[in-house]
Amino acid sequence: MKLYSTRDHSITVSFHDALFQGQAADRGLYMPQLFPLIGQDEFKNLAGLDFKELAYTIAQKYLADEISSTGLENIIQQAYHFAPALKQLDDFTFVLELFHGPTLSFKDFGAQFMARAMSYFVQDEHREITILVATSGDTGSAVAHAYHKVEGIRIILLYPSGKVSPLQEKQFTTLGNNILALEIDGTFDDCQSLVKQAFADDNLRKKVKLTSANSINIGRLVPQSFYYFWSVINVFFQLHKDILVCVPSGNFGNLTAGLFGHAMGLPVKKFIAAVNSNNVIPEYFETGEYKPRPSVRTLSNAMDVGNPSNWERIRDLYNNNYNSIKQHIWTTSVNDPVTIETMKQVYEKYHYIIDPHTAVGMRAVERYRDNVPADKFTPAIVLSTAHPGKFQEIVNDALNMDYKLPESLHNVLRKEKQTIKMPGSFKYFRDFLWAI
Ligand SMILES: *Cc1c(COP(=O)(O)O)cnc(C)c1O
């Protein structure tokens, strides 16, 4: 697999290098040079496969030149002790449950694969690798669980103090071993900026071997396209129509993975990018201007992003062409009161409990259908990015019920958190990294 930097298409690297560098030296993001195309005939064959077989088939198209078939099979077997599930709510609406992994969010799909892929390559490395992760919640826990006790790799998580849910915090601050959590006095964007500054610091990088595991890492995007294939193919062969796919979005990594799938030939009619009150992208669609700004807090906090890092990839994919972007993607912003109202409506109508992120997605599809009457009956898949149990309080308030935490979350709440508190300025972070 060859990848280029969004800022300079003439520089190409291997998957191995993109995986360990995270970001290109010119601070661009890596993009596949070629999307392997899947033809109509092959789609029919893919329809019968279970999730792991399908994941292997897709992964192999990208990675066969760098990872042996046994290696890839092992990566997939070890990564996926869980699978996505498709729930049909009515004739035209499907929910793709992506929360059956160890930390109950879709991020397990990317993180688990990336951890195993790194551990496959790291066998030849001599120096310990330090992975920096800025997290607004779910990335941290998914990455921490995926890498926990993986030899030769240390994880440093940066998260905004007081701005992630107590449960999310416990999920990544209680593992210990090779997982270190830094509690930053600032916002998620500050955390992300600290990580970016560390990567830009050449002297520091000579001393410490740094890599990233955020959604800017291509090692997470490739596996995230697996479940798009699995779900779209499933629904397509059931209804024989092109499909709408709605993605609750923050940093836009998940959506980017879906667009990769589309570039390989997936029959998706339109992607719906659902965001909360952090509406930089809907504003871009309206005005053509991209104006990043500090994030605001919402109930769907894993999407509280004011400067979505993968937007650069999406622009690159469509040659920075505003009309072309609009042709493939539709977007809308859903605020907190409407999020709660949607959780209620979905429960009343279908007896199905959704978390606030999924609710943003459900409402976005409804709005899209109101806006584009021709697609009123076009089948839609809404990605359900988190288990409702992770947002127990919000669910109980919205639905006026006593929803119980899943057992695995119960256990983690009883554990003691271990963190290092740190101000949001780079000086402290740099000193810390220098000394580890
Ligand atoms: C991370 C996350 C999102 C946003 O995904 P991006 O790839 O950053 O757009 C949405 N929902 C949940 C539950 C998440 O954890």
Q: Tell me the per-residue pLDDT of 100-119, one tens digit each, with 9 for 90 and over.
A: 999 999 999 999 999 999 99
Please state, in angstroms and rounded to a whole number, the distance separating the CA atoms of residues 400 and 402.
7
Q: What pLDDT score does 312 carry?
A: 96
Residue 75 is predicted with a pLDDT of 96
Render the burial of 404-433: b for 16+ CB within 10 Å, e for the rest.
eeeeebeebeeeeeebeebebebeebbeeb
Distance between CA atoms of 194 and 427, rounded to whole angstroms?
Answer: 9
Distance 247 CA to ligand 1 centre (A): 9
Residue 305's pLDDT is 92
User: What is the model's pTM?
Assistant: 0.92
At residue 95, the pLDDT reads 98
Whether ligand 1 lies within 6 angstroms of the CB of 360 is answered as no
User: In angstroms, what CA-CA distances link 330 with 245, 269, 272, 282, 352?
Assistant: 10, 11, 5, 9, 26
Mean pLDDT, rounded, for 354-364: 98
Sheet holding 268-275, edge to edge: 85-90, 93-97, 380-384, 243-248, 268-275, 329-333
Q: How confident is the model over 399-414, as a mean pLDDT?
A: 86
For the chain, give the mean pLDDT.
94
Q: What is the mean pLDDT of residues 292-303?
A: 93
Express each pLDDT in 43-53 by its tens digit. 889 998 999 99
CA–CA distance, 79 with 98 (Å, rounded to integer)? 14
Establish whether residue 217 lines the binding site of ligand 1, counting it when its CB lies within 6 angstroms of any ligand atom: no
Find out whether the beta carbon of 274 lies less than 6 Å from any atom of ligand 1.
no
CA distance linking residue 86 with residue 39, whole number of Å: 24
User: Which atom of ligand 1 is least distant from the CA of 224?
Assistant: 7
177 Cα: distance to centroid of ligand 1 (angstroms): 26
Residue 436 vs residue 252, higher pLDDT? 252
Question: Which of 44, 107, 207, 417 is the catalytic position?
Answer: 107
**Cβ–Cβ under 8 Å, residues 302 and 172:** no
**Which of 108, 212, 249, 275 is the pocket-test mutation for ligand 1 (most atoms within 8 Å of CB)?**
249
pLDDT of 313 over the 80 cut: yes
- Give the pLDDT of residue 253: 96
Q: How far is CA 406 from the centre of its chain?
A: 22
d(CA 108, CA 102): 7
Phi, psi of 307 (to 5 degrees): -145, 75
Closest approach atom of ligand 1 to CA 138: 15
pLDDT tens column, 158-182: 999 998 888 889 999 999 999 999 9
**Interval 228-236 mean pLDDT:** 96
C-beta 215 within 6 A of ligand 1: yes
Tokens encoding 359: 């609710």
Closest-CA residue to 133 (of 116, 152, 147, 150): 147
Question: How far does residue 334's CA lie from ligand 1's centre (Å)?
Answer: 15
The lowest-confidence range among 67-76, 128-137, 348-357 is 128-137
Atom of ligand 1 nearest to the CA of 386: 13
Residue 136 pLDDT greater than 80, yes or no: no
Q: Which has the higher per-residue pLDDT, 113 or 210? A: 113
- 57 is written with which tokens? 């088939």
At 276, the pLDDT band (50, 70, 90 cuts) reads very high
Across the range 220-226, mean pLDDT stands at 96
What residue ranges define each of the domains in the chain, with the CATH number in brackets?
69-102+219-406 (3.40.50.1100)
The CB density around residue 117, as the number of other CB atoms within 10 Å, is 25
| Six token digits for residue 327 | 């042709």
List CB contacts of 9: < 8 A, sequence separation 6 or more. Answer: none
Contact 230, 50 (CB under 8 A): no
Give residue 412's pLDDT. 86
Q: How confident is the model at residue 27 (pLDDT cuts 50, 70, 90)?
A: confident
The reported pLDDT for the residue numbered 139 is 82
Residues sharing a CB contact under 8 Å with residue 337, sequence separation 6 or more, in sequence order: none
Q: Which of 98, 357, 358, 384 to mutate to test the pocket of ligand 1 (most atoms within 8 A of CB)?
A: 357
The reply to whether ligand 1 has any atom less than 6 angstroms from the CB of 356 is no
Ligand 1 centroid distance, CA of 42 (Å): 30
CA–CA gap between residue 418 and residue 174 (Å, rounded): 6
> Residue 338 has what pLDDT?
98
Q: What is the pLDDT of residue 403?
A: 86
In the structure, what pLDDT confidence band is assigned to residue 125 with cuts at 50, 70 and 90?
Answer: confident
**Cα separation, 64 vs 29, whole angstroms:** 22
**Is 108 a pocket residue for ligand 1 (Cβ < 6 Å)?**
no
Q: Is 107 a catalytic residue?
A: yes
The average pLDDT across 47-68 equals 96
What percentage of the chain carries pLDDT values higher than 90?
Answer: 81
